[in-house]
C-alpha cells in the first residue's frame, strides 16, 4: 500500500550523531529524502511566492474564461484595535457597513469575486475568530492515519474474532413454541432488565417498573448539569465517583441476585443446589 519513503541515511546519521531523538531524526531524514526527490523531479519546494500565486491565478482565470473580476479587499476597520481578535459592536457594525458598501448598489468586496452568481455574503458577518472557539493551545497530537486507524482496526479484529469463536461453540437458545397458557416454572426478563424484576420483589409494580427506572434515567440525564465540579481528576471528585460506583454496584447486585439466585416461582435458591435458572 504505502510506498515507504526511504530515509536520507546521511542526514539520519548526522542527527543521531548530534544526539537527536530517533523519531525526530527519522522524520527529518524522510523530509530530506522527499525534498531531494522533488528537486530531482524539477518541482519547486515550499509555499509559492506571492508572484507565483498571482501568476497561477492569472493562468487559472484565463483558462476558466475570465470569470472572476479582480477584487479589492475591504480595509480593516479596526487597525490596531480588537485585542484577541474580538471586535466591539461598533467595529463590527463598521465592518459590516464597509462590506455592504454603505447601502450602495455595488458592495465593496471582502476578497470574494463580486460578479459571481453567489447570493450569500455571510463571510462579511462572521467574526474574525470564526464560528467556533478554536483552542490555540498546542497539544501532543499524532496522525489519525496510521496511528488511530491501526488501533481501531486491531480492536475490531479482536472483538470480531472473539465473537466468532463464541458463536462457533455456543448456540443461541431456542425453547419450545410460545404458549400463553403455560407459564414456565422459571420466568425471567433478559439480564439487563433483571434488576427491575428483582426490584419487583420488594416494591409495588408501579414503583419498581415505572417510578424507580424513571428516577434513574432522569438522574443519569441530569448528572452533567448537577455535577458542577470543574475538575475531572479522580482526586477531586470522590463524592461523584462514590455515588456512581454505589449506583453501579447496587444495580450489579440486583442483576446477579435475579439472574443466579432465583429459581422456580422466583424463589430464592442456591444455583449449585437447584441448577442455574438463567438463560441468555
Interface of this chain with another protein, residues 121 to 180, rule: CB under 8 A: 132, 135, 139-149, 151-152, 155-156, 159-160, 163-164, 166-168, 170-180
Q: Binding of another protein at residue 65 (CB under 8 A)?
A: no
Q: Binding of another protein at residue 45 (CB under 8 A)?
A: no
CB atoms within 10 A of CB 27: 15
Q: What is the dihedral of CA 51, 53, 54, 59, to 10 degrees?
A: 120
Q: Which of residues 97-126 bind another protein (CB under 8 A)?
A: none
With CB under 8 A as the rule, give the number of residues binding another protein: 83
SS3 268: strand
Q: Binding of another protein at residue 192 (CB under 8 A)?
A: yes
Q: How far is the CB of 234 from another protein (least distance, A)?
A: 7
Q: Which is nearer to another protein, 30 or 61 (CB)?
A: 30
**Binds another protein (CB under 8 A): choice among 62, 79, 126, 280:** 280
Surface-to-core class of residue 125, CB atoms within 10 Å of its CB (0-12 exposed, 13-18 middle, 19+ buried): exposed
Give phi and psi for 36, each to the nearest 5. Answer: -60, -45
DSSP 104-116: -SSPPPBSS-TTS
Q: Which of residues 222-251 bind another protein (CB under 8 A)?
A: 223-225, 227, 229-234, 237, 240-241, 244, 248
Q: Are 127 and 87 in contact (CB under 8 A)?
A: yes
SS3 262: strand
Q: Which of residues 21-40 bind another protein (CB under 8 A)?
A: 27, 30-31, 34
Q: Binding of another protein at residue 193 (CB under 8 A)?
A: yes
Amino acid at each position: 500500500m504505502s510506498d515507504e519513503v526511504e530515509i536520507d541515511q546521511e542526514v539520519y546519521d548526522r542527527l543521531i550523531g548530534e544526539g537527536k531523538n530517533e523519531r525526530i531524526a527519522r522524520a527529518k531524514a524522510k523530509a530530506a529524502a522527499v525534498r531531494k526527490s522533488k528537486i530531482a523531479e524539477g518541482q519547486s519546494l515550499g509555499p509559492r511566492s506571492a508572484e507565483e500565486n498571482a501568476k497561477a491565478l492569472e493562468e487559472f482565470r484565463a483558462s476558466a474564461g475570465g470569470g472572476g473580476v479582480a477584487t479589492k479587499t475591504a480595509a480593516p476597520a479596526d487597525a490596531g484595535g480588537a485585542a484577541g481578535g474580538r471586535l466591539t459592536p461598533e467595529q463590527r457594525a463598521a465592518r459590516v457597513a464597509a462590506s455592504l458598501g454603505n447601502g450602495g448598489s455595488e458592495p465593496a468586496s471582502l476578497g470574494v469575486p463580486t460578479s459571481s452568481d453567489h447570493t450569500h455574503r455571510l463571510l462579511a458577518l462572521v467574526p474574525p475568530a470564526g464560528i467556533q472557539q478554536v483552542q490555540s493551545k498546542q497539544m501532543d497530537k499524532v496522525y489519525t492515519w496510521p496511528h488511530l486507524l491501526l488501533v481501531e482496526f486491531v480492536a475490531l479484529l479482536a472483538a470480531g474474532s472473539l465473537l466468532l469463536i463464541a458463536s462457533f461453540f455456543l448456540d443461541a437458545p431456542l425453547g419450545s413454541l410460545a404458549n400463553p397458557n403455560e407459564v414456565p416454572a422459571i420466568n425471567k426478563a433478559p439480564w439487563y432488565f433483571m434488576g427491575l424484576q428483582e426490584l419487583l420483589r420488594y416494591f409495588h409494580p408501579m414503583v419498581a417498573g415505572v417510578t424507580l427506572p424513571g428516577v434513574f434515567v432522569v438522574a443519569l440525564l441530569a448528572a452533567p448539569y448537577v455535577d458542577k465540579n470543574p475538575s475531572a481528576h479522580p482526586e477531586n471528585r470522590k463524592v461523584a465517583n462514590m455515588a456512581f460506583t454505589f449506583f453501579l454496584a447496587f444495580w450489579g447486585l440486583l442483576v446477579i441476585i435475579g439472574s443466579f439466585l432465583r429459581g422456580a416461582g422466583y424463589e430464592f435458591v442456591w444455583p449449585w443446589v437447584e441448577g442455574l435458572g438463567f438463560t441468555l
